[in-house]
Every structure is written in C-alpha cells, then in structure tokens.
Structure 1
Amino acid sequence: MTTAILGFALFSLLVTVSPGPDLVLVLRNCLRGGRRAGAATGLGAAVGSLGWGVAAAFGLAAALQRWDAAFTFVKLAGAAYLVFLGAQALWAQRRAVALSKEPPPALLPEGDAPGALGAGAAFRQGVLSCLLNPKVGVFFVAVAPQFLPDGASPLATTLLFGVIDAVIAAAWLLLVTFGATRFMAWLRRPRVHRNLERATGGVLLALGIGTAVESA
C-alpha cells in the first residue's frame, strides 16, 4: 500500500506542477489581491480537486468519461468561465487606465490595485476553475486504477488518492503564491502590473477559447 501511495503522489506531483488554468489564476489573483487572494485561490483549486476525487470514487467522473454529451457540456462551461475571467481582467485594466487622470504612484500597496480581489471571491474562483475542468476527474478515473494495490477497496483507496492530490495541489499553489509575493513590490509597479494583468487575462482567454474549439 505504501508503494502505491508514494507512486501516485509522485505522479500527481508531476501533473500538478505542469502549467494550467489553476496556476495562471493563482498568479493573476496574487496581482489583484496579494498573498491572501493568491493563497485562497490555491486552496479553492485544491478543494475543487478533492471534489473531483470524491466524484471519481463514486463513479461520476467515469460516467462523464463515457457520456460524451455531459463531458462536452462541462468542458464548454469551464471554457466559458475561463473566457469570462480573462475578459474581466482585460476589461478591468482598460477601464482603470481610461479612468486614470493623474500619473499613477510609483508603487501600489497590496490590496489597493485596480479591481482588488477579496479572499472569499478568490476562493470561489479557485473552486469553480477546478470543478469546471472535467479533465481533473478523468485524471482520477484513468490514473487511480493503475495504482490500486491488490485487495484494496477501490472506493477507499480512490478517496485517499483524492485527498493526496488535493494536499499536493494546495502545497504547490501556496508555494507559487508565496514565491510570487516575494516579488510583489516589483510586480505591483503600475506598468508591470498592467502588463502582467493583460498577459494573464490573455492566457485565460486563450485557454478558454482553445478548450471551446477543441470541444467543437
């Protein structure tokens, strides 16, 4: 059992550190609300991952994998949400620049950036970003059986794998958050902040549009 847990944890870590929508969203929310917003987003994504792990354990993700219409619907809903977040980021920056009559100060204090984001809203965004990504559920369906030890309960073991994956996701995204906030003084310089907000908004838009095109 120990070997199975370590093997799944290593595989989960390799998948988790690969860049994806959750990572982009954490970085974007670090810019919008500072360390608290970034950490809340990461914890929300981990809760969403745990939700998919529980769903996989009880067969929902397997049903989504077999039922193409349901999988496509959830995937398109996730794509629409990413497009919404990306468009929201780009629009917020455009509006902030348009309303600015005076040159901005050299440095924006944490939490006072245009469109500053609260921890609660960031947490909800993290949860939705992960829950609207059915690939996370399919990951459990496809990968968990490969690590199930002989004689172990599929339900209990898959639930355990879900907890392990959520803990790894939370640890990684929190590490990213704390790493990013070390450079927050530089990142919050108005020109850098605007360019990064536009870049992350553009990446979220591209991810959402790419997912929608792939599903069409």
Structure 2
Amino acid sequence: MLTAALAFAGVALIINVTPGLDTLLVLRTSIVQGRGGGFVAALGVLTGCGVWALAAAVGLTALLTASHLAYDTVRICGAAYLAWMGASILWHARRREPEGDSGGASAAEWPGGSTPRGWFATFRAGMGTNLLNPKAGVFYMSLVPQFMPRYAPVFGTTMLFSAIDVAELAIWYWVVSGAAAALGERIRRPSFRRRMEQVSGIAFLGFAADLLAEDR
C-alpha cells in the first residue's frame, strides 16, 4: 500500500502543478483580493475535490464515464458557468476603474471582497468551478484505480489517495496564493490589476469554449 500511495502521490503532483483552471482562479483571486481571498478560493476548490473524491469512492463518478448524457450535462453547465464568470470579470474590469495611482483597488472595488458575503462568493466560485468541471470527476475515476493494490478496500483506498491529492493541492495553492498576493502588493497600480482582470476574464472564456467544444 505504501508503494502504491507514493507512486500515486508522484503522478498526482505532476498533474496538480500543471497550470489549469483551478490554479488560475486561485492566482487571480490572490492578486486581486490578497492572500485571504486566495485561501478562500482554494478552500472552495478543495471542497469540490472532496465531493468528487467521495463520489468516486461510492461509484457515482462512473456515471460520467458510462453515460454520455450525464457527462455532457455537467460539461455544458460547467461551460456556461465559466462563460458567466469570464463575462462578469470583464464587465467589472470595464465598469469599475479604481481611483488613485499607487494605492490600488480595495477588495470591495473588485468582484468578491473582504466582507462575509464577498468571501462566500469567492468560496462559491472556487467550488463551482471545480464541481462543474467533469474532468475533475473523471480524474478520480480514471487515475485512482490504476494505483489501487489488488484486494485493497475500494472505498478506503480511494479516500486515502484522494486525501493525498487534496493535501498536495492545498500545499500548491498555498504557494501560488502567497506568491500571487506578494506580487499584487508590490504592483499596486490600478492599471495592472485591471489588466489582470481582463486577462483572467478572457482565460475563463477560453476554458469555457474548450469545455464546450470537447468531443467525447
């Protein structure tokens, strides 16, 4: 079991540090809202991973690989959600022009914010982005069984490997959030943050288009 867990951890680490949608969300949120916002977004993503892991452990994610309709339903909903997020970010970046040349935008001036409502919106964005991406569910369904030792309990082993994956992601997001927040603190120019929002919005629209155009 130890050998299998270590092998899984190595492969999962490579996949986790590969730039993707969830990492982009944590990166963007950390720059705009600070490290606290990045942590909340990461917590939302990790919560989504936990839900997918539990679904894989009880066999629900097998439905995504077996049913074309189920996969397409999640895929289309995910693409619509990402398109809405991208359009919202671009709209806020266009409408809300921060004041001042060196102070930067306060958290309340950008999507999200430091209020309880803002934190909830940030958490919801992280969890929704992960849960509405069928590739996240297929990841647990397709990768975990490849490393599962023979005769090992399916539920317990799946949850163990999933916990390893979530722990690696937590460490990775902690690094990304810290670096991005430090960058955001050093570069306080409103124009930089506005440009970051524009790039992020376009990237989310790109992920939406890619998910929508996927032919399974």
Q: Same-fold call, TM > 0.5?
A: yes
Distance 2:120 2:194 in 1: 23
The equivalent of 1:210 in structure 2 is 210
Distance 2:4 2:163 in 1: 14
Question: Runs ≥4 in structure 1, deviation > 4 angstroms?
Answer: none
Contact 2:82–2:207 (8 Å) recurs in 1: yes
1:104, distance to aligned residue in structure 2 (A): 2.7
Distance 2:67 2:112 in 1: 40
Gaps in structure 1 of 5+ consecutive residues: none
The equivalent of 2:15 in structure 1 is 15
**2:34 match: secondary structure:** helix
The equivalent of 1:106 in structure 2 is 102
Query: What letter matches 1:195 in structure 2?
Result: R
Distance 2:6 2:162 in 1: 13
Distance 1:186-1:54 versus aligned 2 partners, 3 A rule: same
Distance 1:42 1:151 in 2: 34
1:119, distance to aligned residue in structure 2 (A): 2.3
Query: What letter matches 1:188 in structure 2?
Result: R
Matched, 1:81 2:81: yes
Residue deviations 1:69-100 (CA, integer Å, cap 9, x gap): 01011011111111111100000011113xx7
Residue deviations 1:89-125 (CA, integer Å, cap 9, x gap): 000011113xx7xx63322265254335332221111
The equivalent of 2:49 in structure 1 is 49
Residue deviations 1:31-62 (CA, integer Å, cap 9, x gap): 33211111111111111111111101111111
- CA-based RMSD of the aligned residues comes to 1.7
Identity %: 37
The equivalent of 2:62 in structure 1 is 62
Distance 1:78 1:84 in 2: 10
Matched, 1:180 2:176: no
Matches within 5 A, 1:53-202: 53-97=53-97, 104-108=100-104, 111-117=107-113, 118-202=118-202
Contact 2:35–2:178 (8 Å) recurs in 1: yes
Gaps in structure 2 of 5+ consecutive residues: none
- Alignment TM-score, normalising by the size of structure 2: 0.92
Query: What letter matches 1:108 in structure 2?
Result: G
Q: Which moved more, 1:53-62 or 1:106-115?
A: 106-115
